[in-house]
Structure 1
Amino acid sequence: MNPKELIEFLRLVEPLKCNTRHNWTSSGRQESVAEHTWRLAVLAMLMEPEFTDLDMNKVLRMCLIHDWGEAVTGDIPAFVKTGEDEEVEEEAINFLLSKLPKSASDRFAPLFKEMSLCQSKEAKLVKSLDKIETVIQHNEAGTSTWLPLEYDLNLTYGNEICDSFPETKELRNQVREDSKKLMEEEKEKPGSPLDKHL
Structure 2
Amino acid sequence: MMCYNCYKHKSEFIEVKMSMNVREYLDIIHIAERLKDTPRHCTTSHGRTESVAEHSWRISLMALLLRNEFPDVDINKVVNMCLIHDLGECFTGDIPTFIKTDSERETEDSLLQKWVNSMPTEVSNDLTALLSEMEAQKTAEAKIYKALDKLEALIQHNESPLNTWSENEFELNKTYAFDAVAFSEWLTELRKAILEDTIEKITTE
Q: Give me the TM-score of the superposition, normalised by structure 1.
A: 0.92
Q: Which runs of 5 or more structure 1 residues have no equivalent in the other structure?
A: 187-198
Show CA shifts across 1:33-56 (max 9, x none): 000000000001111110111111
Asked whether 1:117 is paired with 2:136, we answer yes
Map of 1:189 onto structure 2: none
Deviation, 1:142, is: 2.4
Map of 2:3 onto structure 1: none
Q: Select 1:56's aligned residue among 75, 89, 97.
A: 75
Map of 1:148 onto structure 2: 167
Map of 1:73 onto structure 2: 92
**Alignment check: 8 A CA contact 1:142 1:182 kept:** no
Question: Larger Rg: 1 or 2?
Answer: 2
- Please report the RMSD computed on the Cα atoms of aligned residues, expressed in angstroms: 0.9
Q: Distance in 2 between matches of 1:98 and 1:12?
A: 14
Deviation, 1:99, is: 2.6
Q: Select 1:40's aligned residue among 59, 73, 88.
A: 59
Deviation, 1:172, is: 0.7
Q: Select 2:184's aligned residue among 150, 160, 165.
A: 165
**Alignment check: 8 A CA contact 1:9 1:99 kept:** no
Map of 2:10 onto structure 1: none
Q: Distance in 1 between matches of 2:93 and 2:185?
A: 33
**Alignment check: 8 A CA contact 2:46 2:161 kept:** no
Map of 1:86 onto structure 2: 105
Identity %: 42
Q: Which runs of 5 or more structure 2 residues have no equivalent in the other structure?
A: 1-19
Work out the number of aligned pairs and report it: 186
Q: Select 1:134's aligned residue among 153, 158, 179.
A: 153
SS class of match (2:42) = strand
Asked whether 1:28 is paired with 2:43, we answer no
Q: Give me the TM-score of the superposition, normalised by structure 2.
A: 0.89
Map of 2:22 onto structure 1: 3
Deviation, 1:2, is: 1.3
